[in-house]
Copies of this chain bind each other. A is one copy, B any other.
């Protein structure tokens, strides 16, 4: 039996937040692993010396933060951050009728170069820093729809090779996580319209001068660390970029 929390931290912070911290500590200590169930509410409440309601409020917070997942009748589980769904959270190109599908990727080019000025600015790199530049073609429903040009700091992705990229068994962001320990947790994205140059027109199978949507994205890891700078050029004849909905109720 553990010491009641309130005895350790008499006042100041609410009890349910102390419980939340205690749960986070237990998680960090590896007491329960990803995908595993944590103990039922009643035993946990007893362990921490609080009422069920207080324990539930702590768990409410943790589920809101996607750290725990509750399933009525089954239990409360440690969230897994490895679902494909999660990795596709940042892919926002859909058909104009709204139908979503998963893209297939072709690696077109892999280079190790000195970072250009814009890449250095976006990735907070010093002049002369080396980066990997990767060009991919993504297709939806069998037709090429967008060309991605990725820039990755060599410092963060040391050991990266074309072979690794080509043979990765999963999505790119999953690959970052599994092979380099880099978790993409957010992106900042801007959009412009451009005309397709010869190269892009060829790659997308459209005439030069076609209007393309140009998305410029920085992907961030913890602590706002930029880890990827990406320019996507999208043929929006049949597809469109689905913006995040703002504050709907």
Partner of A65, one of B194, B234, B247: B247
Determine the distance from Cα of A212 to Cα of B248 in the docked complex, in whole angstroms.
Answer: 27
Contact assessment for B240 and A191 in the assembled complex, using a CB-CB cutoff below 8 Å: yes
Q: Does A223 contact B (CB under 8 A)?
A: yes
Assembly CA distance A246 to B224 (angstroms) = 12
**Interface contact A246-B186, CB-CB below 8 Å:** yes
Instruction: Pick from B24, B220, B243: contact of A248, CB below 8 A.
Output: B220
A150 and B224 CA atoms in complex are apart in Å by 37
CB distance from A68 to the nearest CB of B (A): 10
The answer to whether B241 and A244 have CB atoms under 8 Å apart is no
A104 on the interface (CB 8 Å rule)? no
Which of the residues B185, B195, B209, B248 comes within 8 Å of A249, measured between beta carbons? B185
The number of times this chain is found in the oligomer is 2
Q: Is the CB of B67 within 8 A of A243?
A: no
A236 at the interface (CB under 8 A from B): yes
Q: Is A189 an interface residue (CB 8 A)?
A: yes
Whole-angstrom CA separation of A192 from B243 in the bound complex: 11
Would you give the 0/1 interface string for A176-204, flagging 1 where the beta carbon is closer than 8 Å to chain B?
A: 00000000011111111111000000000
Nearest chain B CB to A4 CB, angstrom units = 24
In the complex the two chains form, is B90's CB within 8 Å of A241's CB?
Answer: no
Q: Which residues of B have CB within 8 Å of A213?
A: 191-193, 213
Subset of 26 A-B contacts with CB under 8 Å: A65-B249, A66-B247, A67-B249, A96-B192, A186-B247, A186-B248, A188-B248, A189-B243, A190-B243, A191-B213, A192-B213, A192-B236, A192-B240, A192-B241, A193-B194, A193-B211, A193-B214, A194-B211, A209-B209, A211-B212, A215-B243, A220-B248, A220-B249, A224-B248, A243-B243, A244-B244
10 shortest interchain CB distances as A-B pairs: A186-B248, A189-B243, A192-B236, A193-B211, A191-B241, A193-B213, A193-B193, A211-B211, A186-B247, A188-B245
